[in-house]
A = this chain, B = another copy of it.
C-alpha cells in the first residue's frame, strides 16, 4: 500500500492557459504526477483593439516544455472557443485527441484544411465511455448545450473525482439529444467530488434557462405571420435551430434553402450523425427558391453576429451572390448578440430595413434561448456533486466571481472556492489549496503565419498607426563625407490628405534644413541625428496639424 499512499500524497495541479477572465477562450491543463491532460483548445475572436488579427489562441509554451508528460487533449464539444486551437496545438505537439462525435468531425475538417490530418490521432468517445490517459481514467458525460454531442468530463484521480462541466445547461426537453442526464452525473459524483469546474457564462443570471424547445413557438408564429419570404439567421453549428426551422417549413408548406458553406457543411454532418431529421424533398437550392412563390420559401443562413463575410451581412449590403433582399422579406435573427458585436449587428439590421425588409429579433419575439445554465441550474450541479474544491471556468472575471460566491452559498468553504487567472498553477491536496507558481499563459495573436504574444509590438504598433498615422523621412547619406545627399523625402499614410501633403512636407523640409546642416558641421552621433530628425519633424507637424504621427527616419548609406 506504500506506493498507493505516496501517490495519493501527490497534489493535483490545475493550470488555465487561456480560458479564464474572458468569455470564449478555453484551455485548461490538469496534472497529476507525471500525467498531463488538456481540456479543450479554443480560440477567441479578436476584439476591436486587435486590428488585422485572425484569431487569438492560448499560449501553449508550457505544454511544449512539458511535452513528454502530455497524454491527451480531451474535448467537451465542438464550438470554436473549445476546438478552434486544436490545429495549432497538434502542429506543435503530437498527442491523441479524444472528442464526442460532432466535435470530432468538426476537428477532422479543421485538421484537413490545415493539412494536419494524416498525422493526427483522433478518437471518438461516447458518453459513459472510459478512456485511459496515462494513469488517469477519463469519462465523458452528456450535457445539453447549443450544439449536439456536448459533454462534460470526469477524471478519476487518487485524490478523487475531478469534474469539468464544459458548457452546459439543464434541459428537460431538448430538440436534439436526450434530456439532461442528472443520474449519470450523480453516479459519477458518488459520495462527492474532489474538484468541480463549472461553466460561469450566466452565473450572474437568476432563475433557470429555457428549453431549446421554447424557441419553437416564437419561430413558428413569426414564420406563420410572414407575408412573403422568410430568412432566418443563426450560428452554423446551432443544429437544433435548423431542426425547428425545418419543422416550421414543413408545417407551413414552405421549402428550406440552406445558404452558406459552413451551415451547409454542418447540416450535412448533423444529418449523417442522425441529429437532424429533414426529408430530402424539403431542401432546395437558392436557385430553386427563386422559382417558387415567396410565400413558399424559407432561407436559413449565418450572420446573426454581423460578421462581414456571413450570408446575412452580405445580403444586407446587397452583395450576396445567391440571395437579394426584397420588400416584404421577413428576417429573423435567431441568436443573441455576443458582447462586442453590437455595432455590427445593429448596422446590418439598419441596412436590411433600408432595403425594405422587416427584421424580427429576440426583443420582439422569443427567437433564441441561450445554451448556458443560470444560477438555479448552477446551484443544482454544485449540490449534486458536493465538491471539496470549486473553480469557476468559462466567463469574464465578474461572472467567475459571482459563480465562486454562489458555490460558497451552496456550502463550499470560502477558501476552497477559487477564482484563478491564466497562468496560475493551483496545487490541491486533500488538506490544502495553494497557488504555487505562475506559468507563461494568455493570448497569442495569430495573423497569417505570425504568432505574437500580448506584449507583441506588432499589435501595439498597429494601434498607434491607426490612431495617428505614420510619416517616414528618408535621407541619402554620404557617411564618409558626413553629408546628406539630395533632398529628404517625406511619405505619409493615415496622416494627411494627399492634397495637403505636398505643401506641408515642403515646409517641413525647410524646418529640417538646419538639422541636416548640423549633421555635417557638428559631427553629430548617428543616433543623435536620427533623434533630432524625429523630434524636429514631430514637433513641427504637431504644431501645424495638432496631431502626433509616428515619425520614422530612414537613412540610406550611399
Contacts and interface: CB of A to CB of B under 8 A. Distances in A.
A547 B498 CA distance: 26
Contacts of A464: 493-494
A466 B359 contact: no
A546 interface: yes
Interface in A341-358: 342-343, 346, 349-351, 353-354
B343 A545 contact: no
A350 B200 CA distance: 14
Contacts of A556: 474-476, 486-489, 556
Interface in A265-292: none
Contact of A485 (B51, B448, B476, B494): B476
Contacts of A463: 466
Contact of A554 (B204, B353, B457, B472): B472
A452 B51 CA distance: 22
Nearest to A447: B547
Interface stretch (A10-18, A145-153, A395-403): A395-403
Contacts of A21: 350
A448 B495 contact: no
A359 B401 CA distance: 12
A485 B354 contact: no
A459 B497 CA distance: 10
A251 interface: no
Residue of A204, A485, A498 with highest tally of chain B CB at under 10 A: A485
Interface string A145-164: 00000000000000000000
Given A546-B448, A558-B486, A552 B493 contact: yes
Contacts of A51: 466-467
B450 A52 contact: no
B48 A489 contact: no
Interface in A430-465: 447-450, 452, 456-459, 461-465
A557 interface: yes
Given A340-B343, A461-B494, A558 B452 contact: no
Contacts of A513: none
Contacts of A452: 497
Given A359-B398, A449-B545, A465 B476 contact: no
Contacts of A487: 556-557
Contact of A486 (B342, B488, B557): B557
A484 to B, nearest CB: 10
Contacts of A461: 469, 493-494
A456 to B, nearest CB: 7
Contacts of A52: 466-469, 494, 547
B497 A458 contact: yes
A47 interface: yes
A400 B386 CA distance: 54
Given A342-B342, A547-B450, A554-B489, A462 B466 contact: yes
A519 to B, nearest CB: 16
Contacts of A315: none
A123 interface: no
A281 B464 CA distance: 46
Nearest to A363: B204
Contact of A465 (B350, B449, B465, B558): B465
A370 to B, nearest CB: 15
Given A397-B354, A497-B457, A556-B474, A47 B469 contact: no
A515 to B, nearest CB: 17
A48 B555 CA distance: 35
A349 B397 CA distance: 9
Given A51-B467, A472-B491, A498-B457, A554 B554 contact: yes
Contacts of A475: 556
Interface string A347-383: 0011101100001000100000000000000000000
Interface string A128-172: 000000000000000000000000000000000000000000000
Contact of A458 (B496, B544, B550, B557): B496
Contacts of A547: 52, 447-450
Interface in A531-558: 544-547, 550, 552, 554-558
A514 interface: no
B350 A558 contact: no
Contacts of A396: 346, 350
Residue of A457, A466, A547 with highest tally of chain B CB at under 10 A: A466
8 contacts: A349-B398, A448-B546, A457-B497, A458-B496, A474-B489, A474-B554, A489-B555, A493-B550
Given A465-B494, A491-B554, 8 more contacts: A48-B48, A350-B396, A350-B397, A354-B397, A448-B547, A466-B466, A472-B554, A486-B558
- A-B residue pairs, 10 tightest by C-beta: A448-B546, A51-B466, A466-B466, A52-B467, A448-B547, A462-B494, A486-B558, A476-B476, A465-B465, A461-B494
